[in-house]
Structure 1
Amino acid sequence: MDKKTAPVNITVDKNYDSEMCGSIPLHLVNLIQPHGVLLVLDKKNYQILQISENAEQLLSMAANDLLGQPLANYVPQEKYTEIISKIEGQASLDKIPLTLPFATQHKKQTFSAVILPQEEYILVELEENESAEAEHFTSLYQHLKYITTLLKQSHTGQELAQRFTEEFKKFTGFDRVLVYKFDTQWNGIVVGQAKEADMDDYMGLRFPASDVPKQARELYFRNPYRLIPNRDYTPVRLIPVINPITQRFTDLSETSLRSVANVHLEYLGNMKITASMSLPIIIEDKLWGLISCHHKTAKYPSYELRSAMELLSDILSAQLEGKQKEEHMELRVQLRSIHVKLMEQLYTSSNFAEGLLEGEITLLDLLSLSGAVVAYEGNIWTKGTTPDNQEIKELLSWLRRTKSNGMYVTNSLPIDYPHSKDYKEVASGLIVIPINAEQGEFVLGFRPELIQTVNWGGDPNSAIQMEPDGKGYHPRNSFQIYKETVKSTAAAWQHEEISAADTLRNALLEKLLKERY
């Protein structure tokens, strides 16, 4: 197993989530990839309103001859009845996969089909069907069970991601498989990798958010995967160009055949990739990351294999979610134990500052701090490594003026409060627990600067290269490691630590209230 790990808890200052890339109308390209045929049907009588121009190659009948014809002319009656029953029987607009016999006067054949009911029309995707023998299905099922069992043996999320890529590569035959996790700014970092020896190593590298722009990310909630069997394909048009029902381009958001933006095909070429397939990792209804599969030559996975890959992506999502919950629960239990001991100490101390900062357990233990300050009733108590007294007074004054609305948490204080640059080595991270903010009474927790190196897959500042005319643009052509040093930043605050600080604040206010009244 690859022993490299990915440093995921680094906050990058610059926002690489390009508005330009995110504004491309990917769903209105009006083009498809040529490995299938797309039909647009009238929702009332199931007549063919639009069809992709490659119909003759796959259906042995000219596209224009099929236009206006009812689907019933080419599909057996029992299958046609089944399709109508399924469309009318479901309450939602979910996709309906099925095996579809399709017969023209020249040829009879069977397709793997996906019916995509829309509000105003119906989309039908047809791909040539590779007959799946019972033995093949059994083999797929057995391999799925084996992989699932292996994944359950992983102890951490990192180990799970790495093991998944290794098994997924064997299962699918792709040359490289990556598990790619998004950070809070939608930059992606490779946390798992399996690859052929002659391919570039991306493990631990970060890629700017513009590589998977906002609109592309949103489409992963509507599609179980994105397949490009051959980036050198010639796009196929729909005819007529305009949808007769909507009088607009047909929305192809949910189709797997939808054509790909030229800039992405160029991006794949720069990576020396001919075929790719990506699947979303969705946790708690949020896009956590992607499974990204690359192949050096053209590759067209069967519909059965793609369905199995889709199932495995769901299994990985569930397993990662479970690991996250385990890790968060362990931290909550640990912090709760420290909180209880700290409360016992607090209630037996002469004053609450001493109870927080002195004794066997301190505030530093609860929140993983390098230093802490208690400012209360005109007094200042310190523990550990903190700014000097004058710097603390100036910081308290700034907090009193600007941060009086509850807790304040940052892992890059110099960005919000430039005066702190002089002591960023001590206090790049700050958590503020207000006691009486209007009177300048706070509990402060500090974390030191953590200088870290981010390894990017190519220079993120050159991720998008504009044409001289300012209209066209291209992706970067190099993915060589570009090192960026991140300064004035502390270790990130975890949600459970912030929650523990809030719980502590409530306990402190309750104690002080009892003492006063």
Structure 2
Amino acid sequence: MTDAISSGSPYEGEVDLTTCDREPIHILGRVQSYGALVAVSSDWMIQHVSENIGSFVGSTPAELVGTPLDTVLPAAAMSRIRAKVLDGRESVNRLFGIRLMDPMVRYDVSIHRSGRHLIIEFEPKADSTRDDDSLSDVYPLIQRIRAAGSLTQVTTEAARAVRLLSGFDSVMVYQFQADDSGSVVAEDRRGDLPSYMGLRFPASDIPVQARALYKRSLLRLIADVNDEGAAIHPQVSPEGKPLDLSLSVTRAVSPIHIEYLRNMGVEASMSVSIMRNGELWGLFACHHRTPRHVEFERRTAIELFAHLFSYELTHLEEQQRSRAQGEMANLQTRLMALMADGDDLSESLLKVSGDLRDVIPHDGMVLYADGDFHATGGTPTEEEFKGLARFLNTTAASGVFATDCIGGQYPPAADCVDRFAGLLAIPISRRPRDYLVLFRREIATAVTWAGNPTKPAVPGPNGLRLTPRKSFEAWREIVAGHCAPWNQHTRHSAELLRVLLLEIFLKITDATADERKKAQERQELLISELNHRVRNILNLMRGLVKQSVQERDTIGEFTTRLDGRIQSLARAHDQLTDDEWDYASLLDLIDLELAAYVGKNSERIEILGTDVQIAPKAFTNLALVVHELVTNSVKYGSLGSESGRLIIALGQDTAGALTIDWRERGGPPVTPPKRRGFGSSIIERFVPFELQGEADIQYKMTGVEARFVIPASYVQFVAKETKRDENADAASGPVSLQGVSLVLEDTMIIAMDAADILTEMGAQDVRIASNVADALREIEANTIELAVLDVNLGSEQSLPVAEKLAELGVPFIVATGYGDRDDLTGLYPPCPFVRKPFSNETLEVAISTAMSHSKK
């Protein structure tokens, strides 16, 4: 809520939640004191000024009004302003670092048109001992958002980024809902401040005209709620019209909004619009417990970040749309396969109802086609649906109809709320109207309001008005008779399904005979493929039996050896069928084979490198090769000895081929086999013969070493690196943080990464400092449990902080990018060092060491 409704106003006697929507907040007639305003005519004659203009140009308002602007401002400043106005491509033009009367003071300038006026606003630029390149901070923060994969992750990273850019105590991401209320979907705040996460704010908190201004002016700063501001002189033009300050960056704040912020304990705030497809998606709502002014140049960088964030939101939505299209394409494939087998549409839809539920969540489904009724789950009866169908016939024929409260639009449905409360109707033909209708059951939605959304009108300090809430305690409202809303992505999926079903419906009516013929041909092809695979398996089994007989084993050895090879093939076959005969994981194959023979002795086995997906043809061959290597190692090599170790390294050569290095250590002395049995042939010949790869095995005294090269056509490399050395984790032991941690780091992205790692380890509040003075203040104000210190902080080092922590007995680690750490270890108090760039694992080991030493 933005402005007072005083007694005697035109709204008196009809005060309700729409009253704020009619309040003229764009003509308040004042500016905030951190800036000054000049309004000029088209011929650069001064028409209005703010009463504080004298501190900027040295003249009083009465002396300025009616005079040419170029008699007041220096020629250089006028030249730059004129050039920017002539450029005129933006609704608000910006200039940074202009000098006015005092050559030692620089100003940031905002220029925009308002009716017949050109409004120019000046803000002093704070002195800075270092170059503050605000725009350079934006790109790395956007990169972190691009790496996030969901709306929750994206908005959380965005709140954190805006807080880092602005320096405010707390930042909320506020998303507008369909009823114009707003929900806090993410926040980043100082640890001692209250959380508003998940709260819903009534639509009346941001009235219609305020939302309209947020679409035109994307950033709004309130530097000090106790600032009385400066009045515009004169208040109205000779025609009696006040100055329109809609796009003014220094526009003053209404008394009611000031009271609203004070009730929240806020003394400064900033709102940044989040636009998507030309509409207001939400806001970054920034709050500070003390007055705070953010320079215009940095506000411009924050506004740029909001623009880029809007693009990332759109990109995320496009990804979700693409995913929905992929899911619908898979559903189409399954539907067409079922119908090719002779099932009709109703049978096919019922069979894929589970898959459809994954794409569009629902609790019941009705297919109504050619007067036939087919239902599953929580739905109306056939008689009830016939009445509902007549209601659906009154909706638009060419699109999907969705409602989360069908009882409110079709009263007879209110009696069915025990089975369903909302529906999504998909028309699948034009005449007669046939439908696929998805139903959702009632959900008693507990909406957590940040105050009562039906706040009353009461007498206040400014007369009869709607008072802002005195308390922001949660107020809960239970919404009955509604289902979970059908969101935009669900509706998009439903539209894709509508197109799909229309196509299927036409194919059924126009090409039934042709479809049956194609189905028969596909069936014959599948049977032929099955016969081919069965014959291949039988031939392979025959070869295994024949070759195993020639190894001159006893009956028992022959049985054991043959059984092992068959089991290896069976395990490989199970993996392939689990993946629908697609590429399968090599690491899973190795794990299964090792588990079958060496059980849980994984501490003796080290697997290095990234996982690789293997094509089905190569997979079964590698299964036999790995099986022979493992069984030989158990019988004669390192896995048969308690002190033995096995190292398997997976890599990629310059041609993109997979390399597998098998190295055994610590087993009994190895001697080359005196004869080559079938097992040796499998190891040495299968890869070259079956896959046109390479195989080399050497029987060294220290252990068997083998190298295999699998051509690139049989492999797909997985991006995520797999690390199977479990001893490293076990050696360091789990680290559990609970209290306040400190990160001292002057590079923002590295500091954020370190804070993320500490949070994952359990730290409840991670304070970030970029210099020694800030770090010492944090140590004085908080009980620090652990600290991570960078060595070099630009013009200073972190040594004073390390000495203070050592004095207090607080464990800490030092992160450094220097290669030689001997000088540092002599300079710093005893502590662990970790080399940059650090990882979760290296940082956790160092922290564990630091904390264990502090307890001694």
- Structures share fold, TM-score greater than 0.5: yes
496-505 or 407-416, which moves further after superposition?
Answer: 496-505
The Cα shift of 1:77 comes to: 1.9
> Which residue of the partner structure matches residue 14 of structure 1?
none
- Which stretches of structure 1, 4 residues or more, deviate above 6 A after TM superposition? none
Does the alignment pair 1:473 with 2:466?
yes
Aligned counterparts of 2:165 and 2:427: Cα–Cα separation in 1: 54
Aligned counterparts of 1:516 and 1:278: Cα–Cα separation in 2: 60
Deviations 1:482-505 (A, max 9, x none): 112222222322232231232134
The Cα shift of 1:349 comes to: 3.7
Aligned counterparts of 2:93 and 2:485: Cα–Cα separation in 1: 41
Which of 84, 107, 111 is the equivalent residue of 1:111?
107
Q: Which amino acid aligns with 2:59?
A: M
The Cα shift of 1:404 comes to: 6.5
Percent of pairs with identical residues: 26
Alignment of structure 1 residues 112-151 onto 2, 5 Å: 112-132=108-128, 135-138=130-133, 140-151=134-145
Aligned counterparts of 1:470 and 1:381: Cα–Cα separation in 2: 62
Indicate how the Cα distance of structure 1 residues 205 and 508 shifts in structure 2: closer, same or farther if over 3 A, else same: same
Q: Which amino acid aligns with 2:417?
A: K
Which of 149, 157, 178 is the equivalent residue of 1:184?
178
The Cα shift of 1:516 comes to: 10
The Cα shift of 1:506 comes to: 2.2
Aligned counterparts of 2:246 and 2:230: Cα–Cα separation in 1: 16
Does the alignment pair 1:295 with 2:288?
yes
The Cα shift of 1:165 comes to: 2.0
> Which residue of the partner structure matches residue 86 of structure 2?
88
Q: How many residues were matched structurally?
A: 493
Deviations 1:249-288 (A, max 9, x none): 1111010111112111111011111110110111121111
> Which residue of the partner structure matches residue 503 of structure 2?
507
Q: Which amino acid aligns with 1:48?
A: I
The Cα shift of 1:366 comes to: 5.2
Indicate how the Cα distance of structure 1 residues 56 and 92 shifts in structure 2: closer, same or farther if over 3 A, else same: closer
Aligned counterparts of 2:463 and 2:349: Cα–Cα separation in 1: 59
Aligned counterparts of 2:352 and 2:49: Cα–Cα separation in 1: 76
> Which residue of the partner structure matches residue 158 of structure 2?
164
Alignment check: 8 A CA contact 1:404 1:437 kept:
no
120-129 or 507-516, which moves further after superposition?
Answer: 507-516
Does the alignment pair 1:53 with 2:51?
yes
Indicate how the Cα distance of structure 1 residues 347 and 371 shifts in structure 2: closer, same or farther if over 3 A, else same: farther
> Which residue of the partner structure matches residue 167 of structure 2?
173
Unaligned runs of 5+ in 2: 1-15, 514-856
Aligned counterparts of 2:354 and 2:335: Cα–Cα separation in 1: 6
Aligned counterparts of 1:356 and 1:275: Cα–Cα separation in 2: 57
Aligned counterparts of 2:127 and 2:179: Cα–Cα separation in 1: 44
The Cα shift of 1:477 comes to: 1.3
Indicate how the Cα distance of structure 1 residues 516 and 144 shifts in structure 2: closer, same or farther if over 3 A, else same: closer
> Which residue of the partner structure matches residue 43 of structure 1?
42
Aligned counterparts of 2:441 and 2:199: Cα–Cα separation in 1: 25
445-454 or 83-92, which moves further after superposition?
Answer: 83-92
Aligned counterparts of 1:148 and 1:404: Cα–Cα separation in 2: 42
Does the alignment pair 1:373 with 2:366?
yes
User: What SS does the corresponding residue of 1:26 show, helix, strand or coil?
Assistant: coil
Deviations 1:293-340 (A, max 9, x none): 101111112223222222222232222222222222212211222133
Aligned counterparts of 1:161 and 1:313: Cα–Cα separation in 2: 11
Q: Which amino acid aligns with 2:248?
A: T
231-240 or 52-61, which moves further after superposition?
Answer: 52-61
Alignment check: 8 A CA contact 2:97 2:108 kept:
yes
> Which residue of the partner structure matches residue 348 of structure 2?
355
> Which residue of the partner structure matches residue 452 of structure 2?
459
Alignment check: 8 A CA contact 1:355 1:362 kept:
no
Indicate how the Cα distance of structure 1 residues 342 and 466 shifts in structure 2: closer, same or farther if over 3 A, else same: farther
Aligned counterparts of 2:128 and 2:255: Cα–Cα separation in 1: 34
Alignment of structure 1 residues 219-238 onto 2, 5 Å: 219-238=213-232
The Cα shift of 1:427 comes to: 1.9
User: What SS does the corresponding residue of 1:472 show, helix, strand or coil?
Assistant: strand
Indicate how the Cα distance of structure 1 residues 151 and 346 shifts in structure 2: closer, same or farther if over 3 A, else same: same
The Cα shift of 1:235 comes to: 3.5
Unaligned runs of 5+ in 1: 1-16
Q: RCO higher in 1 or 2 (8 Å CA, sep ≥ 6)?
A: 1
Q: Which amino acid aligns with 2:459?
A: E
Deviations 1:20-76 (A, max 9, x none): 2221111122222222111011211x1211111122344432111111222212322
Aligned counterparts of 1:109 and 1:29: Cα–Cα separation in 2: 29
Aligned counterparts of 2:419 and 2:131: Cα–Cα separation in 1: 61
> Which residue of the partner structure matches residue 68 of structure 2?
70
RMSD value over aligned CA atoms?
2.8
> Which residue of the partner structure matches residue 28 of structure 2?
29
> Which residue of the partner structure matches residue 847 of structure 2?
none
User: What is the TM-score when the length of structure 2 is the normalising length?
Assistant: 0.54
Aligned counterparts of 1:365 and 1:92: Cα–Cα separation in 2: 46
> Which residue of the partner structure matches residue 406 of structure 2?
413
Which of 422, 434, 438 is the equivalent residue of 1:429?
422
Aligned counterparts of 2:88 and 2:115: Cα–Cα separation in 1: 13
The Cα shift of 1:444 comes to: 2.2
Indicate how the Cα distance of structure 1 residues 345 and 361 shifts in structure 2: closer, same or farther if over 3 A, else same: farther
Q: Which amino acid aligns with 2:310?
A: S
User: What is the TM-score when the length of structure 1 is the normalising length?
Assistant: 0.87
User: What SS does the corresponding residue of 1:431 show, helix, strand or coil?
Assistant: strand
